[in-house]
Each structure stands twice: as C-alpha cells, then as structure tokens.
Amino acid sequence: MTPWQPTLHGSAVTVRPIEREDLDGLHAAASDPLVWEQHSERNRHERAVFERFFDGALDCGGGMVIEEREGGRIIGSSRFYDWDPIQSSVVIGYTFLERAHWGGRTNAQVKSLMLAHAFAHVATVWFQVSPGNVRSQKSLERIGASFHHREQVSIAGVPSDRFIYRLERAADGR
C-alpha cells in the first residue's frame, strides 16, 4: 500500500481519493472549455476525452478529487504520481479547478494540503506543466517551486513537451 491516496481536510476543501462513482461530478466540474484552454489537451471538456483523463486518475494510484468542504460538491481534481521511493520524490499534477475557484484560496489550500502530505513521505516534489499553461507556472512560482528543466514527458503514451518545476522539503521538515 502506498501513501498516495489520503483524505486531506482544509477549511474550504476536502481532497480525497477518486472513486469510479465520481465520474459524472468530476466531468461536470471539467466541462467548461476555458478550464482547459492552456493545457496541452484543450478538448478535455468533451466527455470521451475526459473519460480517458479520468481513467488515468483511477489507474495512477494517486488520483484525488477536490470537494468544497461545505456541501461536498466536486470542484476539481489533482494527482500524486510517479512516486520514487529511492529518489524520495513524487509528482503532483493534472490539477484542475472550476473557474469559480481560480485566483483565490482554493488552489493554494489544495497545494498546501497535498504538499504537507507529500513532504511527510518524500524530500522532493516535482510538477510537470505544459509550456503554454502560464496560470499553473505562476501558481507554482507563488508556492516556491522553481523551474528545473524542460523535457518530453509521456502523456497517455504521447511524448509531450513539459516544463519541470521542483520544490524541496524545508530543512525543518516542512
């Protein structure tokens, strides 16, 4: 068993393991084309395309659903993936939120919860971002992640250009 599907509670959100039954609620949160305009797969709002994304979240062993704490409505998702216990690292990514939750405390709280959990288990967290996804790049820089390099990453078996960001656990363990 891996530590990559916890349930994390914040003041505004709960981040919990994804389940097959989440498909409709998650697709509803993902159905706005503007959510995907800076992603490499811009048509992910379409049901068939989204179902591949959803299946990847189920299969990766670290797929997470983001819910509003009040009422439990699904507003997005994220993932822990590519855990490397030897290198003491994990990747956090594939994160999306409904537009109503952009630019506020939601993404910061999700990342804070996920990073605190990750740093209890690893020393390094990586992020893989599409070069055109400026919103995510700026968000990562705000939380202290730094650009590390650019590489081709396999996304659903297709080589895709990605900016790789890195964040290290603080010396005091946080």
Positive or negative torsion for Cα 142, 105, 17, 99: negative
Does the residue 2 lie in any domain? no
CA angle 44-82-60, nearest 5°? 50
Tens digits of residue pLDDT in 53-77: 999 999 999 999 999 999 999 999 9
Number of domains in the chain: 1
* 95 token code pair: 């994160």
Q: What are phi and psi of 129, to 5 degrees?
A: -125, 135
Does the residue 12 lie in any domain? no
Does the residue 8 lie in any domain? no
Residue 30's domain is classified under what CATH number? Answer: 3.40.630.30
Q: Is 38 left (phi over 0), alpha (psi -120 to 50) or beta?
A: alpha
Does the residue 81 lie in any domain? yes
Tens digits of residue pLDDT in 6-58: 999 999 999 999 999 999 999 999 998 888 887 777 778 888 989 999 999 99
User: pTM above the 0.85 mark?
Assistant: yes
Does the residue 110 lie in any domain? yes
